[in-house]
Structure 1
Amino acid sequence: MATFVLVHGGGHGGWCYKPVAQRLRAMGHEVHAPSLTGLADRRHLMSDAIDLETHITDIAELLEFEDLTAVILVGHSYGGMVITGAADRRPARVGHRVYLDAAYPRDGESLYEHAYEAIHGARQGLHEADGVELVMAPMPGMAAFFGVTDPQLGAWTDARLTAQPWACFTQKLALTNEAAMRAIPESHLVCTSTLAGRDLALLQARSQGRVWDVDTGHDLMLTEPDWVAERLDAIARL
């Protein structure tokens, strides 16, 4: 069976993978779903020093200290920035990269540049707390922004969302070992609604056709956990 490291997106935490992690573990897989520094159960570590590189280091060091190899590294949304950087830092420990309706950045690109329309909208909520510039301040009903429309699941999600340092979205990705990172197999699980904004020819070519889509909201790991877990299990069996 495979080892998965599931990396969440902006404003989320490892909690958002609970339904998928439960299913993968029931299939016999090992699953790690950490929260990135400053978010969710690690929100007490919030500081003005947190940026994209902090979160890349979070995952790279997890791979190192847990002595994980042949890892299937999964990133959702902003997490696509993080897994790209972590696979670049620790290519020998990563066996597959999976982009879950995620950012798919180029070297030297920030998330703000990569997904300008969506992130510029989030920027309108920019505010400061304890000297840290933050976006995505949690509020009732915010889960709907991520495509979670079920009232019970939405309330559970709203209770767990946290604000994110703005620097995570503006710091440019700096790749140091891009050839080795790109040599790692990749797959893409995306929402049908985001297909139009993606370079499908590039994704198909780099993943040898492993691009699947599902008609659901952006937080597909919450709204379609069976589908996501089944696809991840299929990738593990390649």
Structure 2
Amino acid sequence: MATFVLVPGMCHGGWTFEPLARRLREHGHQAYPLTLTGLGARAHLLTSTVNLETHIQDVVNTLLDEQIEDAVLVAHSYGGMVTTGVADRVPDRVDSLVYVDALVPGDGDSCWSLVPAEREWYLESGETGYAVPPLPFFDPRATAHPLASLIQRLRLTGDGDLARFRRRDYVYATGWDGESPFESLREQLLADPLWTVHDVDSRHNVMRDAPDILLKILLDSV
């Protein structure tokens, strides 16, 4: 039995992973689809101080509170910033990593630095000045995302070596309209024998558009 901890992307809550979580449980695994501070059902907690470290601590606290010691961290999009930080903070509680069309940052990286094409969107912070609105085509449940979490640089306190974990999978969505912001990352990981890269015929929201394939990848990873 594996324990999956599922971290959503920008503007999304645990609901984006809930259908997948139910299917993982049907296969005998544990699954925790998380909602990060200031998002989804926790949108009432959104303030100017919610940042990347807040979200890393959200996940770390879940691992500690639930006494999880063998987590398969599954991250979508922005969630890759979070799970990389979590793996650095509590490596003894992480078994493996799955990045679903997600960022794989290094020390000092941020969403701002890694995805410069999205900066115009990030700065559309509306009336509050610290919350980035969801894009029009997002699910109606999507909520504003804390700007500070996109600008803050990830600081790795350990050696940042993901090779210590049992397995590292990257799910690359091939169905973007135009060039994927993760194309160069895919090429980099394909050349690294420590990574397994899966090309999936899907748009960015792989959980919605290719759930069966994603489920198989997760089951095969354990």
| TM-score > 0.5 by shorter chain | yes
Give 5+ residue unaligned stretches, structure 1.
Answer: 144-156
Partner of 2:125: 126
**In 1: Cα distance, 2:8 partner to 2:89 partner:** 18
**In 2: Cα distance, 1:124 partner to 1:172 partner:** 17
**In 1: Cα distance, 2:160 partner to 2:205 partner:** 30
Contact 1:85–1:175 (CA<8 Å) still a contact in 2? yes
Q: Give the direction of change, closer, same or farther, for the CA distance of 1:63–1:196 in structure 2 (3 Å limit).
A: closer
Q: Give the direction of change, closer, same or farther, for the CA distance of 1:85–1:231 in structure 2 (3 Å limit).
A: same
Q: Give the AA of the match of 2:211.
A: P
Partner of 1:146: none
How far off its partner does 1:174 sit?
Answer: 0.3
Partner of 1:222: 208
Q: Give the AA of the match of 2:157.
A: T
How far off its partner does 1:137 sit?
Answer: 3.9
Over the residues paired in the alignment, what is the CA RMSD in angstroms?
1.8
What TM-score do you get using the length of structure 2 for normalisation?
Answer: 0.91
Q: Give the AA of the match of 1:223.
A: D
- Looking at secondary structure, tell me which structure has more helix per residue: 1
Partner of 2:100: 100
Q: What's the CA shift string for 1:190-210, capped at 9, x where partnerless? A: 101438722334313546351
**In 2: Cα distance, 1:179 partner to 1:126 partner:** 31
Give 5+ residue unaligned stretches, structure 2.
Answer: none
**In 2: Cα distance, 1:174 partner to 1:122 partner:** 24
Alignment map for 1:1-238 (pairs within 5 Å):
1-117=1-117, 119-129=118-128, 133-137=130-134, 141-143=136-138, 157-158=139-140, 160-179=141-160, 181-184=162-165, 185-192=167-174, 193=176, 194=180, 197-206=183-192, 208-236=194-222
**In 2: Cα distance, 1:207 partner to 1:59 partner:** 28
**In 1: Cα distance, 2:108 partner to 2:221 partner:** 29
Contact 1:125–1:137 (CA<8 Å) still a contact in 2? no
Decide which moves more: 49-58 or 192-201: 192-201
The number of aligned residues is 217
**In 1: Cα distance, 2:47 partner to 2:181 partner:** 35
**In 2: Cα distance, 1:197 partner to 1:99 partner:** 14
**In 2: Cα distance, 1:32 partner to 1:106 partner:** 25
